[in-house]
Structure 1
Amino acid sequence: MSRFLTAAIALSIAILPGTALAHSKLLSSSPAANATVAKPTKLTLTFSEKFLGPLSGIDLVMTGMPGMSDHAPMPIKGFKTVVAPDGKTMIVTLPRALPAGSYDLKWHIVGADQHKMEGGYSFKVK
């Protein structure tokens, strides 16, 4: 009987709809990964699934500055993060335009299914 039960469970998992097991993915961002942009005041990240805004956010670090090869990483603070009405887009409003340099953005979200996902990318400001 246990073999039958094991096979039934395995079959059930195999035929579940893909969306039940899907995790949200970053579909697009502005600035985009590896892009060079002019002094942004807002960042947007759009995911494939809705996420829980209060449990989601970003960390932004300036990792380099023109003319300063030994620039220590500098966390950017003071931004405001909101979720757009679609429930899939995070909008980050910066307190002022980002100065020229290179940046690492790390994101984390908690999906509607309570799973935490994270990722990141880099971009440059000219």
Structure 2
Amino acid sequence: MSRFLIAAAALSLAILPGAALAHSKLVSSSPAANATVAKPTKLTLTFSEKFLAPMSGVELVMTGMPGMANHAPMPIKGFKTALAPDGKTMVVTLPRALPAGDYDLKWHIVGADQHKMEGGYSFKVK
């Protein structure tokens, strides 16, 4: 077998498993990472692929409050998550607008391929 055929076969084997193992990624969010927004009542996270809503969710923590040095992290509770009709967007509905402060959002989803992905980002509310 020629060197060309051997190299082509090796390249094919290297590329194909990578395509099969592609995982969903966060492609957009509102608020966006590192954004400063006015008191949101809803957050959205859109992923590159559909995911399983019952096994997916977010954690939201207020990490800083204006005028309060050494503010202890405060988990935000009482929100509801839902899957948008596109099957790729998680909608987080808050019980009330978020007050001014710094926030960390951590997300986790389980893709249709049963793989768990997770990530997070920060944003500010003015």
Q: TM-score, normalised by structure 1?
A: 0.87
The aligned residue for residue 36 of structure 2 is 36
> What letter is aligned with 1:66?
P
The aligned residue for residue 23 of structure 1 is 23
The aligned residue for residue 47 of structure 2 is 47
Cα distance between partner residues in 1 of 2:112 and 2:20: 11
Any idea what SS the aligned residue of 2:14 has? Answer: helix
Any idea what SS the aligned residue of 1:16 has? Answer: helix
Any idea what SS the aligned residue of 1:22 has? Answer: coil
> What letter is aligned with 1:45?
L
Q: Which moved more, 1:95-104 or 1:19-28?
A: 19-28
The aligned residue for residue 105 of structure 1 is 105
5 Å-filtered alignment, 1:1-126, equals 13-16=13-16, 19-126=19-126
Q: TM-score, normalised by structure 2?
A: 0.87
What residue ranges of structure 2 are gaps of 5+ in the alignment? 1-9
> What letter is aligned with 2:41?
T
Any idea what SS the aligned residue of 2:90 has? Answer: strand
Cα distance between partner residues in 2 of 1:19 and 1:83: 26
Cα distance between partner residues in 2 of 1:49 and 1:41: 25
- Cα deviation for residue 121 of structure 1 reads 0.2
- Cα deviation for residue 21 of structure 1 reads 1.4
Cα distance between partner residues in 2 of 1:32 and 1:12: 37
